[in-house]
């Protein structure tokens, strides 16, 4: 790995074994980073090319991802402020939920700091693709390495939309299979939360997904011309300000958004795409409003 390309997982580095991380300039042990204060955080962020933010509380059974907003919104805002101040050119990967709102929060913070680059802010939705690929592989007796299902929309419930008709290699599904697989992929996070019965949400699979997305980012930064991932980014694919889709990654972040995935959708996918938009719009607006309210409160204080 080029010394210029370093990745910093802002918290719980042990969770992302396999991520290429250059933490030599940090004073803390690299296994578990426990930032003791803003100056240590600032030191660790200097010169970082990829900053990953997974900090925050996970769900317990019965909660939606949106129920985490009340705690995680402020955490993400604070950490993105630190990224803006110390490594404004970095790719920023937001894992903390609710991703549908925390990414818009991050965008507003970066705008306030005058360093927003929409091509370098990513909501990490890789786990949805990992799950879609796994479940399709199991259902159709394929080889996991061959399968790629684009997952678009957002990262919560019905906003997660696997485009099964666009599966590569080409696979056909009955209506029942499409419905069953779509629901399974949309509910997979909740399935894990319930199985863990209060002990948190997906961690190992998330670590794998985070590592995959960081590795793809490092390849893009290193000049690899063929890097594609699904991610929740500022987008003009729909009327929504942010939308997850396949994107081509390059040295400067998002090089292009792959619009072809939304062409020629099945009737099921078209309806699901329409149905997800009001919920996703509300989550995006909630994130933006949170930052604006905090800004107004700070001004009047």
Ligand X SMILES: O=C([O-])CC(=O)C(=O)O
CB atoms within 10 A of CB 129: 24
Cβ of residue 95: shortest distance to ligand NAI, in angstroms?
Answer: 4
Q: Which residues are annotated as a binding site for substrate?
A: 59, 65, 97, 131
Cis-peptide into 121, omega within 30 deg? no
Counting runs of H as helices and runs of E as strands, what totals does the chain give? Answer: 7, 9
Which one of the spans 54-62, 112-120, 129-137, 222-230 is the region binding ligand NAI (CB under 6 A)? Answer: 54-62
Site for ligand NAI contains 203 (CB under 6 A): yes
Residue 260's SS3 state is helix
Binding residues among 71-100 for ligand X as defined by CB under 6 A = 97
Length of the chain: 301
Q: Which residues are annotated as a binding site for NAD(+)?
A: 12, 72, 95-97, 206
Site for ligand X contains 132 (CB under 6 A): no
Residue 234's SS3 state is strand
Strand partners, 267: none
Site for ligand X contains 192 (CB under 6 A): yes
Of the pair 6, 283, the CB lying nearest ligand X is at: 283
Of 26, 49, 52, 59, the one binding ligand X (CB under 6 A) is 59
Cβ of residue 176: shortest distance to ligand NAI, in angstroms?
Answer: 27
- Segments of the chain assigned E as strands: 7-9, 50-53, 91-94, 121-123, 151-153, 160-162, 227-234, 242-250, 253-257
Of 6, 201, 217, 235, the one binding ligand NAI (CB under 6 A) is 201
Site for ligand NAI contains 272 (CB under 6 A): no
Q: What is d(CA 241, CA 284) in angstroms, rounded to the nearest whole number?
A: 8
Residue with tokens 């069953």: 180
Of 12, 67, 81, 215, the one binding ligand NAI (CB under 6 A) is 12
Q: Is 9 a catalytic residue?
A: no
Crossing angle of the two packed helices 126-140 and 204-221, in degrees rounded to 10: 110
Choose, from 9, 25, 155, 292, the residue flagged as catalytic.
155
Of the pair 212, 281, the CB lying nearest ligand NAI is at: 212
Q: Which residue is nearest to ligand X (CB)?
A: 189
Catalytic residues: 155
């Amino acid at each position: 790995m080029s010394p210029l390309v370093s990745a910093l997982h802002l918290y719980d580095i042990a969770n992302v074994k396999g991520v290429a991380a250059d933490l030599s300039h940090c004073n803390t042990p690299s296994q578990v980073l426990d930032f003791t204060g803003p100056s240590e955080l600032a030191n660790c962020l200097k010169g970082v090319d990829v900053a990953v933010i997974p900090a925050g509380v996970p769900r317990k059974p019965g909660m939606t991802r949106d129920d985490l907003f009340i705690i995680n919104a402020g955490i993400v805002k604070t950490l993105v402020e630190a990224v803006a101040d110390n490594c404004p050119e970095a790719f920023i990967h937001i894992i903390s939920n609710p991703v549908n709102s925390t990414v818009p929060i991050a965008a507003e913070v970066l705008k306030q700091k005058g360093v927003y680059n929409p091509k370098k802010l990513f909501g990490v939705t890789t786990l949805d693709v990992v799950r879609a690929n796994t479940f399709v592989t199991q259902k159709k007796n394929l080889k996991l390495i061959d399968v790629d299902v684009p997952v678009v929309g957002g990262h919560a419930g019905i906003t997660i939309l696997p485009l099964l008709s666009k599966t590569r290699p080409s696979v056909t599904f009955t209506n029942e299979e499409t419905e069953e697989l779509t629901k399974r992929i949309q509910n997979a996070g909740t399935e894990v939360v319930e199985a863990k019965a209060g002990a948190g949400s997906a961690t190992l699979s998330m670590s794998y997904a985070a590592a995959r997305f960081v590795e793809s980012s490092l390849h893009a930064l290193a000049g690899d011309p063929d890097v594609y991932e699904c991610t929740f980014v500022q987008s003009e694919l729909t009327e929504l300000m942010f939308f997850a889709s396949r994107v081509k990654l390059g040295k400067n972040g998002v090089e292009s958004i792959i619009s072809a995935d939304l062409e020629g959708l099945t009737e099921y996918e078209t309806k699901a795409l329409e149905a997800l938009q009001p919920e996703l719009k509300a989550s995006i607006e909630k994130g933006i409003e949170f930052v604006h309210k905090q800004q107004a409160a700070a001004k009047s204080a």
